[in-house]
Amino acid sequence: MSKVKAIEFVEPGSTQITKTGAWRTFVPRIDQKKCIKCSLCEIYCPESSVHQVKDPKSGDLIFDIDLDYCKGCGICEHECPRHAIKLELEEK
C-alpha cells in the first residue's frame, strides 16, 4: 500500500496497476486476413487496449488487443467495417 502524504499528489497513468481485463466475459479476436488496418478499433477502444504491433511471424504491422485491460465491451466488433473482429465467450 503506498503511503499517504500530506498532499495527495498521484502519479500519472498509475491506474495501469489495475488489470481490468479481469472484468471480461467475452474476449475479442481479430481476423488479420479481413483487417484493412483502418484503426477505427484503436480509436474507439475506451480502454486504449488496441495497439499496432509487429506480428512476430510475418513482421507486418497488425492490430492487437491488450488483454490485460480489455473489458470485452464489443465496440470494436460493432464498429469494424470489415467485421474482422468477433467476440467469443472467454474460457477462464
Partner 1 sequence: MQNLLAPGHRACAGCSMPTIVRLILDAAGPNTIVVSPTSCLEVTTTPFPESAWCVPWLHSLFENAAAVASGVEIALKRFHKEANVLVIGGDGSTFDIGMGSNSGMFERGHKVTYICYDNEAYMNTGVQRSGSTPFCAHTTTTPSGEISLGNPRPKKDMPAIALAHRVPYVATASVAYPVDLRRKVKKAIETQGPSYIQVNAPCITGWTFEAGNTVEIARLAVETGLWPLFEYVNGQLMEVKKVRRPKPVEDYLKSQGRYRHLFKKPGGTEVLKQIQAIADANISKYCLVD
Partner 2 sequence: MMKVVEGSYAVAHAAMCCSPDVVSAYPITPQTHIVEHLSQMVADGELSAEFLTVDSEFSALSVLVGASAMGARCYSSTTSQGLALMYEVLYNVSGLRMPVVMTVANRALGAPLNIWNDQQDSVGARDVGWLQLYTENVQEAVDTTPQAYKIAEDMGILTPIMVCMDGFILTHVYEPVELLDKDKVAGFLPAFKPEYVLDPANPKTIGAFADPSTYTEFRYLQFDAQQKALAKIEAVAKEFQETFGRTFGGLIDTYQTDDADIVMVTMGSVIGTIKDAIDEMRAEGIKVGLVKVRSYRPFPVQALRKALKDAGVIAVIEKDVSIGNEAGLVTDLKAAFYNSKIRTPIIGFTAGLGGRDITVKDIRKITEKASAARKGIESEFEFLNLRTEILP
At 31, phi and psi to the nearest 5?
-85, 100
From partner 2, partner 1, none, interface partner of 68 (C-beta below 5 to 8 A by class): partner 1
Binding region for partner 1 (CB under 8 A): 2, 8, 10-20, 23-24, 39, 42-49, 66, 68-69, 71-75, 77-79, 87
34 neighbors 86 (Cβ within 8 angstroms): no
Does an H or E element contain 41, and which? helix 40-44
Which part of the chain contacts partner 2 (CB under 8 A), choosing from 3-11, 26-34, 41-49, 59-67? Answer: 3-11
